[in-house]
Structure 1
């Protein structure tokens, strides 16, 4: 049985149980983001294990407590489809992170110049002024690096971005990833 409600939430019945797909998707997405954050924390702990001596008195601080000064000087996220990352963005905002959005290279660059950001996240390709620019993220890196060599810039893109990772890092990307876990780790590092 398939029912479409007024709110566009699809309901399906499986083994006599009604499942609301929208609600279930929302809950699963929240749980996935939480797991990604926890995995990023575990990876950071493992990477720094040589500096940690475990005994009965040693505790590992919660990664969420390490993000300081996160309201001021937040993240500039340049992406023509930020809704593709809505669950991750919502989770970061719930942690108190300030995230400003831009949908184009030029607007993103102007926001960067006029604001104070501790990090830039950008997709690789964007449609700008009706034209497909498959390397808009590269263009943004080049513009930003002309005036700031230190702000972390992460290209958060799909498989095509990963194929160009070496080139993007050569011109100034701090990291190139298609992984939410790696992105969370990059954000934590940038905001330390």
Structure 2
């Protein structure tokens, strides 16, 4: 009787793996077609990305985070007195980029920790969002070069900073772009921008200096 019971348990344990294997075998042609053509998309935050685009952003961001965590772990061993956390809370961010899907993963991360992200695709649209905001933005993020009404403007980020500073001297403005943007760090500072980076983790570090993220705020 004991041997029979053990046999039934063994067969039951095999049932789900065998069923799963059968399902995969039946769907294998469709799965291969999806992977080959990357034919489906997923929604990330406010944007829709192909699986390949999403995967690329996840890989890039997690690699950056791993590198930064390693550096910070080494630094924390040498730091005796950590600086006090900022007193304000980061509630709202305006993100200006003519291709919002480039930042979909970072936008979703901010939303996941309670930060409202308003997206604009041009300098004029961003300035209108600032003027019409029912509540002030705690920070502004912009790419450097983008398509504007008159064509591509390689200095759109600098233009946005200068226009914001005409009426607002305090809201932090950060440039988030590639190596071409980081090479213009001095120009960003001269326009009274608050920082420029191409690193997702460094961007979050810059935002964290403005205010604590809502999910971690006490």
Q: Which residue of 2 aligns with 1:13?
A: none
Q: Which residue of 1 aligns with 2:80?
A: 50
Q: Tell me, yes or no, if the aligned pair for 2:146 and 2:153 is still in contact at 8 Å.
A: yes
Gaps of 5+ in 1: 11-20, 53-60
Q: Tell me, yes or no, if the aligned pair for 1:67 and 1:188 is still in contact at 8 Å.
A: no
Q: Which residue of 2 aligns with 1:22?
A: 51
User: 1:180 Cα deviation (Å)?
Assistant: 0.9
Q: Match of 1:80, SS?
A: coil
Q: Which residue of 2 aligns with 1:119?
A: 139
Match of 1:157 among 177, 186, 207: 177
**How far, CA to CA, are the matches of 1:34 and 1:68 in structure 2?**
27
Q: Tell me, yes or no, if the aligned pair for 1:68 and 1:191 is still in contact at 8 Å.
A: yes
Match of 2:123 among 105, 129, 143: 105
- Equivalenced residue count is 169
**How far, CA to CA, are the matches of 2:171 and 2:194 in structure 1?**
9
**How far, CA to CA, are the matches of 1:110 and 1:127 in structure 2?**
17
Q: Match of 2:169, SS?
A: coil
Q: Match of 1:4, SS?
A: helix
From the superposition, tell whether residues 89 and 7 of structure 1 become closer, same or farther in structure 2 (CA, over 3 Å): farther
**How far, CA to CA, are the matches of 1:45 and 1:118 in structure 2?**
31
**How far, CA to CA, are the matches of 1:118 and 1:164 in structure 2?**
24
Q: Tell me, yes or no, if the aligned pair for 2:90 and 2:210 is still in contact at 8 Å.
A: no
Q: Which residue of 1 aligns with 2:197?
A: 177
After superposition, the C-alpha distances for 1:100-137 in whole angstroms (9 at most, x for unaligned) are 00001011012112221000000001101251111111
* More divergent stretch after superposition (98-107 vs 42-51): 42-51
Q: Which residue of 2 aligns with 1:9?
A: 38
Q: Which has the larger radius of gyration?
A: 2
From the superposition, tell whether residues 138 and 32 of structure 1 become closer, same or farther in structure 2 (CA, over 3 Å): closer
Q: Tell me, yes or no, if the aligned pair for 1:77 and 1:102 is still in contact at 8 Å.
A: yes
Q: Tell me, yes or no, if the aligned pair for 2:139 and 2:172 is still in contact at 8 Å.
A: yes
**How far, CA to CA, are the matches of 2:37 and 2:97 in structure 1?**
26
User: 1:51 Cα deviation (Å)?
Assistant: 1.4
Does 2:108 correspond to 1:82? no
TM-score (norm 1): 0.72
**How far, CA to CA, are the matches of 1:29 and 1:147 in structure 2?**
35
After superposition, the C-alpha distances for 1:140-179 in whole angstroms (9 at most, x for unaligned) are 0000011111111110111111121101111111001111
Q: Which residue of 2 aligns with 1:56?
A: none
Q: Tell me, yes or no, if the aligned pair for 2:94 and 2:126 is still in contact at 8 Å.
A: yes
